[in-house]
Structure 1
Amino acid sequence: MARMKFICDSERCIECNGCVTACKAEHDVPWGVNRRRVVTLNDGVPGEKSISVACMHCSDAPCMAVCPVDCFYRTDDGVVLHDKDICIGCGYCSYACPFGAPQFPSNGAFGLRGKMDKCTFCAGGPEANGSEAENEKYGRNRLAEGKLPACAEMCSTKALLGGDGDVVADIFRTRVITRNKGSEVWGWGTAYGKPPGGPSGPAAQPAKPEGSKS
């Protein structure tokens, strides 16, 4: 069984926000909610990178762990969805999610809270596939139609990949091998920093004896 996953290739993302617009248009997302957004790291300085962020449909999703009414569930494809009929709008999931995926809709001048909304991987909700009720609450169910999520399909540079996790990983692995760069963006060095004197640090270079010519 396929396990659906997203990955964004920061070497290809050009911060066009096409993925954000595609998601909004496809599902008529509530005002004040961005199921997907583009985040720029080191904005305006050398090494600037942009990545597209949404619900990552975690294998061990923290939103599922903290929800007091168990409105979150995982499909056979590994997509994490939620039932708006059960949701009480407590907001615990928004605090637990490291990606800021579950969000309150902002209806009215004072941002009234309601049912949580989040990325569905274009897989709809608990209602019957393609039904009017499903479309009204969660948007179009493209996965049931055999299509990719709208955000990934509309990405002009194919930076955003979505689909079977094994296939997505193979595509990204091939890109990294071909260009000989890119894996470090998601690796240990980015998360924890490279140790002083590591393989790529200054201490890796052998010291030259005194009096030697360069």
Structure 2
Amino acid sequence: MARMKFICDTERCIECNSCATACKNEHEVPWGVNRRRVVTINDGIIGQEKSVSVACMHCSDAPCMAVCPVDCFYRTDEGVVLHNKDACIGCGYCSYACPFGAPQFPSNGTFGLRGKMDKCTFCAGGPEENGSQEEFEKYGRNRLSEGKLPACAEMCSTKALLGGDGDVVADIFRTRVITRGKGSEVWGWGTAYGNKAQQDSVPQELAK
């Protein structure tokens, strides 16, 4: 059984925010919630800036699951950490426990009313029937049930953000690190535009 994971290649991320935009557009995310966001480290320091796309990392030992007093978080067979909004009481413990700031309160409710937590679902919906209107209204589109990858990873312009089977994602990233060159070759343009030497040294399915 596949174990779904995200990884962001900081050498490729250009802070275009297409991942965050794709997520909001695909799921009609509540106002005030950013299921995915791009964070820049060492901002403004020439030669040291690194950008990384951050969302729920669907941890194998998720702290949000450990602290939730009503056990609204659960893990699917594919390793995706989801939550049941019907069970959520809005206590916010998960938001304090998560090191990635994934669980968030929406900001479109009445003043002082925080409502149910919202978070990245790896485009896997929720406990309702797959593809149902109720599921979409609460959690967004269930792309995994359609045989698709998360919208954020599919829309990444430089393929910095990878999402899918953890073993496959790790193999792709490992191959990139081993074969990564300098200058423009950090991005793999040689592979994309027919540099024969690089094409011969990298399996095409891993170099993309």
TM-score range, shorter chain: 0.7 to 0.9
Alignment match, 1:124:
125
Amino acid corresponding to residue 34 of structure 2 in structure 1: N
Distance 2:65 2:109 in 1: 29
Distance 1:31 1:73 in 2: 24
Describe the SS at the equivalent of 1:5.
strand
Alignment match, 1:15:
15
Alignment match, 2:74:
73
Distance 2:181 2:3 in 1: 27
Describe the SS at the equivalent of 2:173.
helix
Unmatched segments (≥5 aa) in structure 2: 183-208
Pairwise CA distance, 1:108: 4.8
Alignment match, 2:155:
154
1:63 paired with 2:64, answer yes
Distance 2:135 2:78 in 1: 18
- Structure 1 runs, 4 residues or longer, greater than 6 Å off: none
Pairwise CA distance, 1:107: 1.4
Deviations 1:41-72 (A, max 9, x none): 00010310000000000000000000000000
Pairwise CA distance, 1:34: 0.1
Unmatched segments (≥5 aa) in structure 1: 182-214
Distance 2:13 2:68 in 1: 33
8 A Cα contact 2:123 2:144, kept in partner = yes
8 A Cα contact 1:105 1:112, kept in partner = no
Alignment match, 1:187:
none
Distance 2:63 2:52 in 1: 22
8 A Cα contact 1:105 1:111, kept in partner = no
Deviations 1:80-101 (A, max 9, x none): 0000000000000000000000
1:176 paired with 2:162, answer no
- TM-score normalised by length of structure 1: 0.83
Amino acid corresponding to residue 55 of structure 1 in structure 2: C
8 A Cα contact 2:109 2:115, kept in partner = no
Deviations 1:1-51 (A, max 9, x none): 000000000000000000000000000000000000000000010310000
Describe the SS at the equivalent of 1:126.
coil
Deviations 1:104-134 (A, max 9, x none): 0001574630000000000000001001110
Distance 2:109 2:83 in 1: 24
* % identical equivalent positions: 89
Pairwise CA distance, 1:180: 6.0
8 A Cα contact 1:125 1:138, kept in partner = yes
Distance 2:109 2:70 in 1: 26
Report the structure number with the largest CA radius of gyration: 1
